[in-house]
């Protein structure tokens, strides 16, 4: 199947002058499909008759699932089935600067949140977009590629709350186990690995505005350092999940190298699992999935492992009768186990609208002709070195504490790119049509993220179509104190305008209120609050819906070894188990959870038969 980008005919309104909706936008997307629409891996041979019995079934080939399937299939006498609802990973996902072009395309589940009257107010229907990867590699194939682990306090807090085995000292070896760091020089080897499967490196191309942001943060007192090392309170051009200017998803790192070499590993794409089979003894023994319009059943002799992510894992559990009794009763689903599945949903809330404009001399914006030339140059080059081999300013990251007494950072800055004249006229429409490479821009959009949100939402099955997209109640700003770190963070951000780094490049803040905030004075606390409530956006870090916790935790769905309470032979191993989101991007922690979780599985079954 060929990758399909966003449909401009449906997305573009009749009256707009955005470049994305011009004839050039159509030409550009057509070229993307022609150059990068095919799958990135080997051409798969014709499939033989479906096998039905396995030792392990892994549902979801995402950030954690690919790790789990790799480690289990390394045991030669175990048969492992890996099921992925999406298709094979297309080549377009490997181009760092095209990451933003993947949103609302055929590799995105394109979920949306439900309105709560307190956030996303300027967006259509007061709903925020929640992209999630629907392809081999999952969200590791469509995210912004930043390699960020979080703070050691996050994991120590997990352990302190009864999750034995999850302290920072205990999870650090699993971060290191996967890591193949190509830029280890200058990093503390106690925190990093070079022998794993997951490539981690710096981009071969960094533009001047990106460096400007790091230098400006540094001038304002944020030390330059490795925020994945001893001190997270630092800034740098983040390392990325890449190698030689190309994305390395967990699919490319953990599955593609072994897929054709391990006859005991069977991978099935376009296979959406709709039910976990559970017998009268409350033991999981298989799954039912739909593939190519046909229903299939597969059986697991040892375990079924759910790694479908923070949205699809709880959805599958509830479809299988594991979830809140009141909700399952409403839908007529037989209750197997009454658990708080779907609760504890949270995300690092942020917002858009603070704009740093660049004069023509320092803008990276190029003509349409030059943009097309860059696409061809990247495609034809054996060594990916140009601007498309990076992700614009997205890896300009800094962590700060908004109060000196805080034990760890509560705010993260991460920077997007825009053409500000178009953005400021129609911000929500512009954000829904981000089809062009992130490398070419004339303004920066630094986003202030709340790393310690108190608001909690929930996920429910849609009563109109339980097997369809679930109802996502992000519940942003339900606790109004979540706005405090954002206001303080933006106040810090605005001081960057006075740094030498900004002045050298002539960068300045666009001090014009966005449309939804026109009744407020730009830069005031009230303006920032209303900007956050109006132009709320996800950081794409949803977690917590299958919460890990000790037996006495009434909200816990899985125990500290990730076994689902009350159902044997069933584990959840992905970001949904996080009791609380770590301070930072969630892809690296999800890979770690894959490593840590599968280690529990290996230890149990190998010890049982040793």
Q: What DSSP line would sit under 173-218, residue for residue?
A: HHHHHHEEES--TTS-TTS--SSSSEEEB--S---HHHHHHHHHHH
Alpha carbon 43 to its chain centroid, in Å, reads 27
C-alpha distances in Å from residue 105, one per residue of 2, 11, 109, 139, 379: 11, 12, 8, 13, 20
| 41 has a pLDDT exceeding 90 | no
Contact 100, 352 (CB under 8 A): no
Confidence of residue 504 (pLDDT cuts 50, 70, 90): very high
Residue 96 lies in a domain: no
Residues 508 and 596 in one domain: no
446-456 pLDDT tens trace: 999 999 999 99
C-alpha distances in Å from residue 465, one per residue of 5, 91, 194, 294, 457: 26, 33, 46, 19, 21
Residue 38 lies in a domain: no
Residues 337 and 378 in one domain: no
What is the model's pLDDT at position 1? 74
Angle at 164 between CA 161 and CA 167, to 5 degrees: 80
What is the model's pLDDT at position 259? 97
For residue 197, give the nearest of 179, 223, 217 by alpha carbon. 179
Catalytic positions are: 541
106-118 pLDDT tens trace: 999 999 999 999 9
353-396 pLDDT tens trace: 999 999 999 999 999 999 999 999 999 999 999 999 999 999 99
For residue 113, give the nearest of 96, 139, 131, 95 by alpha carbon. 131
Residue 417 belongs to domain spanning:
116-131+204-239+350-452+478-537
Residues 153 and 65 in one domain: yes
301-312 pLDDT tens trace: 999 999 999 999
Q: What DSSP line would sit under 465-521, residue for residue?
A: -TTSPPEEE--TTSSGGGHHHHHHHHHHHHGGGGSHHHHHHT-EE-----GGGTTS-
| 295 burial level (CB within 10 Å; 0-12, 13-18, 19+) | exposed
Residues 336 and 438 in one domain: no
Supply φ then ψ for residue 191, to 5 degrees.
Answer: -110, -5
For the segment 285-307, the average pLDDT, to the nearest whole number, is 97
Look up the CATH number of the domain holding residue 495.
3.30.410.40
| 40 has a pLDDT exceeding 80 | no
Handedness of CA 511, 515, 516, 520 (dihedral sign): positive
Residues 269 and 172 in one domain: yes
456-468 pLDDT tens trace: 999 999 999 999 9
540-563 pLDDT tens trace: 999 999 999 999 999 999 999 999
What is the model's pLDDT at position 15? 83
Alpha carbon 382 to its chain centroid, in Å, reads 28
For the segment 148-168, the average pLDDT, to the nearest whole number, is 98
- Count of CB atoms situated within 10 Å of the CB of 598: 27
C-alpha distances in Å from residue 211, one per residue of 217, 251, 362, 439, 474: 10, 31, 12, 13, 34
Structure tokens at 443: 């303004």
What is the model's pLDDT at position 51? 79
Q: How many residues are recorded in the chain?
A: 610
C-alpha distances in Å from residue 568, one per residue of 285, 328, 336: 9, 20, 12
| 45 has a pLDDT exceeding 70 | no
Residues 274 and 306 in one domain: yes
Task: Tell me the binding residues.
Answer: 273
For the segment 337-342, the average pLDDT, to the nearest whole number, is 98
Residues 162 and 196 in one domain: yes
Q: Which residue, 537, 556, 587, sits at the end of a domain?
A: 537
Residues 469 and 551 in one domain: yes
Where is average pLDDT lowest: 163-172, 579-588, 600-609?
600-609
How many distinct structural domains can be found in the chain? 2
Residue 36 lies in a domain: no
Residues 357 and 318 in one domain: no
What is the model's pLDDT at position 608? 75
Longest dimension (CA), the chain: 71
Look up the CATH number of the domain holding residue 338.
3.50.50.60
Q: Which residue, 501, 516, 537, sits at the end of a domain?
A: 537
Residue 229 lies in a domain: yes
Instruction: Give first-to-last CA distance, the chain, whole Å.
Output: 44
Task: State the chain's mean pLDDT as an integer.
Answer: 97
Name 278's bridge partners. Answer: 284
For the segment 305-322, the average pLDDT, to the nearest whole number, is 98
Residues 142 and 231 in one domain: no
Contact 175, 588 (CB under 8 A): yes
Instruction: Report DSSP state, residue 225.
Output: S
For the segment 477-495, the average pLDDT, to the nearest whole number, is 98
Residue 110 lies in a domain: no
265-286 pLDDT tens trace: 999 999 999 999 999 999 999 9
Residue 107 lies in a domain: no
Residue 271 lies in a domain: yes
Q: Which residue, 513, 537, 561, sits at the end of a domain?
A: 537
Report d(CA 62, CA 60) in Å as an integer. Answer: 6
| 155 has a pLDDT exceeding 90 | yes
Contact 267, 259 (CB under 8 A): yes
Residues 284 and 339 in one domain: yes
For the segment 485-503, the average pLDDT, to the nearest whole number, is 98
Confidence of residue 525 (pLDDT cuts 50, 70, 90): very high
Residue 40 lies in a domain: no
| 422 has a pLDDT exceeding 80 | yes
Residues 433 and 576 in one domain: no
Q: How, if at all, do strands 265-268 and 457-460 pair?
A: unpaired
| Contacts with 374 (C-beta within 8 Å, 6 or more apart), sequence order | 366, 386, 387, 388, 437, 439
Task: Tell me the binding residues for FAD.
Answer: 273
| 140 has a pLDDT exceeding 80 | yes
- Count of CB atoms situated within 10 Å of the CB of 540: 21
């Amino acid at each position: 199947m060929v990758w399909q980008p966003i449909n401009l005919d449906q997305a573009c309104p009749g009256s707009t002058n955005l470049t994305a909706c011009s004839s050039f936008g159509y030409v550009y997307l057509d070229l993307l499909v022609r150059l990068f629409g095919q799958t990135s891996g080997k051409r798969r041979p014709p499939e033989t008759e479906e096998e039905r019995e396995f030792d392990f079934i892994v549902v979801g080939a995402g950030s954690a699932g690919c790790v789990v399937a790799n480690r289990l299939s390394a045991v030669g006498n175990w048969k492992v089935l890996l099921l992925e609802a999406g298709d094979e990973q297309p080549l377009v996902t490997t181009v760092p600067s095209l990451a933003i072009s993947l949103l609302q395309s055929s590799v995105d589940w394109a979920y949306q949140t439900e309105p709560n009257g307190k956030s996303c107010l300027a967006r259509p229907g007061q709903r925020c977009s929640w992209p999630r990867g629907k392809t081999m590699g999952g969200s590791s194939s469509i995210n912004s590629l930043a390699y960020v682990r979080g703070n050691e306090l996050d994991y120590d807090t997990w352990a302190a709350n009864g999750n034995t085995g999850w302290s920072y000292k205990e999870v650090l070896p699993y971060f290191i186990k996967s890591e193949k760091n190509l830029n280890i020089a200058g990093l503390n080897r106690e925190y990093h690995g070079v022998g794993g499967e997951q490539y981690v490196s710096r981009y071969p191309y960094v533009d001047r505005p990106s460096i400007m942001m790091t230098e400006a943060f540094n001038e304002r007192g944020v030390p330059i350092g490795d925020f994945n090392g001893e001190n997270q309170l630092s800034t740098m051009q983040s390392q990325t999940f890449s190698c030689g200017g190309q994305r390395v998803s967990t699919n490319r790192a953990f599955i593609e190298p072994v897929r054709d070499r391990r006859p005991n590993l069977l991978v099935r794409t376009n296979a959406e699992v709709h039910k976990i089979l559970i017998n009268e003894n409350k033991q999981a023994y298989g799954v039912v999935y739909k593939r190519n319009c046909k229903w299939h059943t597969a059986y697991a002799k040892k375990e079924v492992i759910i790694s479908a992510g923070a949205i699809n894992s709880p959805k599958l559990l509830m479809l299988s009768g594991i979830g809140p009794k009141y909700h399952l009763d409403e839908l007529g689903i037989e209750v197997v186990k009454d658990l708080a599945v779907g609760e504890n949903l949270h995300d690092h809330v942020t917002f858009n609208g603070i704009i740093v404009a660049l004069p023509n001399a320092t803008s990276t914006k190029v003509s349409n002709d030059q943009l097309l030339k860059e696409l061809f140059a990247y495609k034809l080059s054996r060594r990916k070195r140009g601007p498309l081999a990076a992700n614009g300013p997205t890896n300009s990251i800094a962590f700060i504490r908004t109060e000196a007494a805080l034990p760890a950072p509560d705010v993260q800055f991460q920077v997007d790119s825009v053409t500000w004249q178009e953005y400021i006229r129609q911000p929500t429409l512009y954000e829904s049509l981000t089809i062009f490479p992130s490398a070419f821009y004339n303004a920066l959009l630094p986003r202030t993220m709340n790393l310690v949100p108190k608001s909690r939402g929930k996920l429910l099955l849609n009563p109109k179509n339980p097997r369809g997209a679930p109802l996502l109640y992000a519940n942003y700003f339900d606790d109004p104190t979540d706005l405090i770190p954002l206001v303080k963070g933006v106040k810090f951000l605005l001081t960057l305008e006075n740094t030498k780094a900004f002045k050298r490049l002539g960068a300045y803040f666009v001090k014009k209120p966005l449309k939804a905030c026109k009744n407020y004075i730009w830069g005031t606390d009230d303006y920032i609050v209303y900007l956050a409530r109006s132009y709320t956006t996800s950081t794409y870090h949803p977690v917590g819906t299958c919460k890990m916790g000790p037996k006495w935790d009434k909200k816990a769905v899985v125990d500290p070894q990730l076994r689902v309470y009350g159902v044997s032979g069933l584990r959840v191993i992905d970001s949904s188990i996080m009791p609380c989101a770590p301070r930072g991007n969630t892809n690296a922690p999800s890979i770690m959870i894959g490593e840590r979780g599968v280690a529990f599985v290996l230890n149990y079954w190998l010890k049982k038969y040793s």
